[in-house]
Chain A
């Protein structure tokens, strides 16, 4: 009787340890990493920040896409906004799509930010940060440049106003547009 009870307790204890280990492995396995250059950009559908409707990344297949992750509380995003708007106005005639993804932000503050910086390219909201997480974003601003096939051409983990990134951004746009 005692021996069988002891055995049962040991099995339960082992099952608990195995369960916790499985949970740890599952947690590590589901962590998102930034998609590398050449890999497909994670698909998403997000709510528009301004006005109703949802936007899907797949809808832009066949066009180069600049995916910029930002937030209204992010200081470097403010200086980057003007540069992005300027690039958008100069590249949109060539069929390049700019998409802004506002992350972990209050919608009201984000709309004020868009209005204050007179941004005209489409803005999407990712309040929960799920899509942003699938791109491995840990800080904003970050920008992905995708080619016509939806593959990553460049990932710039910082403001494109940064001297190191400005040249890379232009060169990535040229590669994506090719």
Chain B
């Protein structure tokens, strides 16, 4: 019984920090890939500059304080501006950045499909060809028939 109580107590100690948040904790590695280092213009996970280390520390603190990824990103945008995020937002003019590549890929696929269609049509014969003639004039044909008749 005492042993069971001890196990439960240890489990509660380890479970307490996780249970402290009402929602799943934000991931440091996810945010490090979503946030830019303002001085080196790469994402945080690709930088060890002093500015990047500072922001990583901030994210880590806020994760420990149960902030959501969205809340952390909002705080960073308030401090550094929209440029701190690696990806543009999904609203307003920023939507162009999301749709333009898709439109480009679609346009490319359509152009490719059209090109293949044109190419394959170009290779097909336009009309069935007429049976080819012997190409010999009548006199030669007659002589050829005579020669062949001699062999029969």
- Per-residue CB contact flags for chain B residues 38-57 toward chain A (1 = under 8 Å, else 0) read 11000000000011011100
- Per-residue CB contact flags for chain B residues 72-114 toward chain A (1 = under 8 Å, else 0) read 0000000111010000000000000000000000000001000
- Count, chain B residues at interface, CB 8 A: 14
Q: Is A165 an interface residue (CB 8 A)?
A: no
Residue of B nearest to A16 (CB): B104
Q: Which residues of B are found within 8 Å of A130, using beta-carbon distances?
A: 81
- Per-residue CB contact flags for chain A residues 101-135 toward chain B (1 = under 8 Å, else 0) read 00011110100000000000000000111100000
In the docked arrangement, what's the CA distance between A17 and B12, Å? 63
Which among B53, B80, B111 is the interface contact of A73 at CB below 8 angstroms? Answer: B53
Determine if B38 and A73 form an interchain contact, defined as CB atoms under 8 angstroms apart.
no
Q: Which residues of A are found within 8 Å of B39, using beta-carbon distances?
A: 104, 139
Determine if B54 and A128 form an interchain contact, defined as CB atoms under 8 angstroms apart.
no
In the docked arrangement, what's the CA distance between A106 and B57, Å? 11
Determine if A74 and B50 form an interchain contact, defined as CB atoms under 8 angstroms apart.
yes
Q: Which residues of A are found within 8 Å of B79, using beta-carbon distances?
A: 106-107, 127
With A2-B118, A104-B38 as known contacts, state yes or no: A127 contacts B51, CB within 8 Å. no
Q: Range of interface residues on chain A?
A: 10 to 19
Which among B50, B81, B111 is the interface contact of A127 at CB below 8 angstroms? Answer: B81
Q: Which residues of B are found within 8 Å of A104, using beta-carbon distances?
A: 38-39, 51, 80
In the docked arrangement, what's the CA distance between A130 and B38, Å? 11
Determine if A73 and B58 form an interchain contact, defined as CB atoms under 8 angstroms apart.
no
In the docked arrangement, what's the CA distance between A127 and B51, Å? 12
Q: Which residues of A are found within 8 Å of B53, using beta-carbon distances?
A: 73
B107 CB to nearest chain A CB (Å) = 9
B4 CB to nearest chain A CB (Å) = 46
Q: Which residues of A are found within 8 Å of B51, using beta-carbon distances?
A: 71, 73, 104-105
Q: Which residues of B are found within 8 Å of A2, using beta-carbon distances?
A: 118
Determine if A106 and B38 form an interchain contact, defined as CB atoms under 8 angstroms apart.
no
Q: Is A75 an interface residue (CB 8 A)?
A: yes
B150 CB to nearest chain A CB (Å) = 56
In the docked arrangement, what's the CA distance between A75 and B111, Å? 55
B122 CB to nearest chain A CB (Å) = 9
With A71-B51, A104-B51 as known contacts, state yes or no: A128 contacts B83, CB within 8 Å. yes
B18 CB to nearest chain A CB (Å) = 26
Q: Which residues of A are found within 8 Å of B58, using beta-carbon distances?
A: 106, 109
Which among A9, A74, A106 is the interface contact of B111 at CB below 8 angstroms? Answer: A9
In the docked arrangement, what's the CA distance between A75 and B50, Å? 9
B8 CB to nearest chain A CB (Å) = 39
- The 8 A-B pairs of least Cβ separation, nearest first, read A128-B81, A104-B38, A73-B50, A73-B54, A127-B80, A127-B79, A73-B51, A104-B51
16 A–B contacts, CB within 8 A, in A order = A2-B118, A71-B50, A73-B50, A73-B53, A104-B38, A104-B51, A105-B51, A106-B55, A106-B58, A106-B79, A109-B54, A127-B79, A127-B80, A127-B81, A128-B83, A129-B80
